[in-house]
Each structure stands twice: as C-alpha cells, then as structure tokens.
Amino acid sequence: MAARSSRSLRADAADNRDRVVAAARALFTDEGFGVPVSAVARAAGVAPATVYRRFATKRELAVAAFADQVGECRGVVDGALAEPDPWRAVSHLVERGGELYARTAGFVEAFAATYPDAADLDAERAHSHHVLAEVVRRARATGQLRPDVGAADLVLALTAHGGVRAATGAARAAAARRFAAIVLRGLRAA
C-alpha cells in the first residue's frame, strides 16, 4: 500500500511540475519574464509553495521552461529527419515548426535577452542546421523541392511564422496553418 501511495505521489509531483513548466512557458511567451511566480502558480493550478519546492528561483523556472521549448523544437526537427518521404519531411518542418514559432513567438529571444548565460544553444543550432540541410538535400534529390531553396530558406520560412498574430491561440494556430500552406506552395518544385 505504501509503495502505491508513494508512486501516486511521485506521479502527482511530476504532473504538477509539467503543469508549472507549461504555465510558465505560456505566460513568459505572452507577458515576458516579469510575470510573478504567483501568476505561474495560479495558471498551473498549484500553490506558489509548490512552484518554489521544485524551482528555488524564477531563473530555474525560466531555464526549465526554456528546456521544454528546446525539447519541443528538437522533436519537430527530429520528426522531419525520421520522415521517409522527403516532401513530407519539408512539410513537417514548415507546418509543425511554423506552428511552434507562431505559438511561442519571441520566447527564445526574450529568454536569451533576460538570461544570456543560462543556456548554450550552439549544439542545438548545429543539430538543427544539419537536419535542415539533410531534409533539403533529400527533397531536392527527388525533384520535389525547388532547386534554388536551401536550408537558410527553411529557417526563414520557420522564423517568419513568428510574425503570425491573432487574438486567440486557436486563431493564431489557424493563421499559422494557412501561412504554412502558402509557404509550402512556394517551396514546391513546379
């Protein structure tokens, strides 16, 4: 009985942590890093003490939210690399990556400006650029991607999604999907 109870407690604690990090990431994206920890706790549905038990400082919470963002970006990039169909790989990057950029516009830049020494992104950038170059190479080899499109063009297409604005999250997601469809039509070989 005690083992089951402690496992449930650990699962609850992990769930609380995930909710806190997700709430922090959303609030930091929408309102900046000036958001008080109490607002993060409220948005996550936990007490402020729960947040401070896991994250002693706001910086620790911001680093965890940033790590969550980096993990989601890596998932999009690695998902494209795992896609066997070259055009679907390009589509995956533009659609999923674009939606992520639209949803979290400015978060990475704000994090880097607020906590410039908190994370070293060189390895992540190098990995992403390697994957983008491979996705481009494969799609060009099949003739599905315009021959003048390079990895830098995919980066541009992704980051342009950061300019997608709408009043609600659902409207922003719909606008990001529409923008991705337009971008993909422009990238596809005739």
pLDDT of residue 5: 45
Element (H, E) at 34: none
Contact present, 28 and 111 (Cβ < 8 Å): yes
- The pLDDT tens digits for 74-111 are 999 999 999 999 999 999 999 999 999 888 877 888 88
Contact present, 41 and 47 (Cβ < 8 Å): yes
Amino acid at 127: H
Query: 103 CB contacts (<8 Å, ≥6 apart)?
Result: 29, 169, 172, 173, 176
Please, is 135 exposed, middle or buried when counting C-beta atoms within 10 Å of its C-beta (0-12, 13-18, 19+)? buried
pLDDT of residue 188: 96
SS3 74: helix
Query: 158 CB contacts (<8 Å, ≥6 apart)?
Result: 93, 94, 97, 98, 101
SS3 105: coil
Q: List average pLDDT for each run of 10 residues in the chain, which is 190 residues long.
A: 52 87 92 93 95 94 94 95 97 94 83 86 90 97 96 92 82 90 94
Contact present, 154 and 84 (Cβ < 8 Å): no
Contact present, 70 and 121 (Cβ < 8 Å): yes
Domains along the sequence of the chain with CATH: 1-56 (1.10.10.60), 59-190 (1.10.357.10)
